[in-house]
Amino acid sequence: MFPRLAVLAALLAILLAACSGDDEDEGGAGSQVRATTTLTVFEDIVGEIGGDRVAVSALLPSGADPHTYEPVPRDVRLVTEADVLFVNGLGLEEGVLRVIEPNLPSGVPMIELAEEATEAGITLREFGEGEGDAQGDVNPHVWLSVDNIREYARVISAALSQVDPEGAAQYDENFQSYLIRLDELDEYVRDKVAEVPPKQRKIVSTHDAFGYMADYMGFEVAGVVAISPGQEPSASDVAELQDKIEEAGVAAVFQEPQLGAEASVLRQAASDLGIEVCTLRSDALDDRVPTYIDLMRFNADELARCLTE
């Protein structure tokens, strides 16, 4: 009798200890701010500023196109569990917003980074701007400028401090450290693109994502396959693209890793003209390019490599 009771007591103690351990684990995770972002680019920056006080996840998987991404059930959980949610705004993530808006808990802030950053004086572009063919819709790819991403980082730091006031000093310290790294990135990018001859500083790409980057780097957007992904280019669009490439006189054109149909059109035009097809990244992070800083360095390197005669 007594040995059996002793065994039962021991088992009960083990179970209670396991439950207690689970509670401690959950409490440890719960002590972090749960941040959700749309793009992996923003996930990276929130992680840099949030440090170990923030657990951050992106809704879009690496390489997904924010213009056309269709949400999955996992996204609902990430939204409902969020303490703060970061989106770009300016119409970039319309599909994802169909999950965010009905599922974001009451009182949880949704920070629209581009719109918040414009309060600091960022000048917004329109789609098609630079080609003499403005479409009237705001181009949302604001983050592809180191000058602009400083403001995104400032907005993120302020939002995390609002949600977690006890961590405000840590967020500001991380923000200041990140600004130093962005200054180093800025110097690298400007030195690298200075290698490109002025007459070659023209970007022809799959879609109109690189206007802000072109402005920042002193380039011109000379042509795109489509204003936005998912638009099927007509035969006349393709012919016009070839004319623009020939007129620009560039040594290379640039595809994006997350776009398929538009890239095939660009590759065909480049093949017909006998020029190189290179790659630029707008928001696609992966093992090769795991951070925003890596993305901008990659783009600067690729522009210098492909357009330097």
Per-residue pLDDT tens over the stretch 221-270 = 999 887 655 556 667 777 888 888 999 999 999 998 866 556 778 888 88
pLDDT tier at 57 (50, 70, 90 boundaries)?
very high
Report pLDDT digits (tens) over 179-191. Answer: 999 999 999 999 9
- 112 and 57 Cβ atoms separated by less than 8 Å: no
Q: Give me the mean pLDDT over the 121-143 stretch.
A: 76
For 251, other C-beta atoms within 10 Å of its C-beta total: 16
Question: Which CATH fold would you assign to the domain 195-307?
Answer: Rossmann fold (3.40.50)
| Other CB atoms within 10 Å distance of the CB of residue 11 | 10
SS3 content of the chain, % helix, strand, coil (to 5): 55, 15, 30
Confidence (pLDDT) at 24: 37
When mean pLDDT is compared across 1-5, 36-40, 111-115, 122-126, the lowest value belongs to 1-5
Q: Measured in whole angstroms, how far is the alpha carbon of residue 164 from the centre of its chain?
A: 24
Q: Which residues contact 189 (CB under 8 A, 6 or more apart)?
A: 146, 217, 296, 297, 300
More confident residue, 62 or 211: 211
Domain boundaries, the chain: 28-190, 195-307
Does domain 28-190 fall into CATH 3.40.50.1980?
yes
At residue 4, the pLDDT reads: 44
Specify the pTM: 0.85
Phi, psi torsion values for 269, nearest 5 degrees = -65, -40
pLDDT given for residue 2 in this prediction: 38
Using N-to-C axis directions, what is the helix angle for 235-248 and 261-273, rounded to 10°? 50
Could you tell me how far CA 297 lies from the centroid of its own chain? 14
Q: Comparing 28-190 with 195-307, is the CATH topology the same?
A: yes
Residue among 133, 224, 40 nearest 125 (CA)? 133
Identify each DSSP E strand in 155-306 by its residue range. 202-207, 220-226, 252-255, 276-279
Would you state the pLDDT for residue 260?
59
In tens, the pLDDT along 86-99 reads 999 999 998 899 99
- Residue 211 CA to residue 197 CA, distance in Å, equals 19
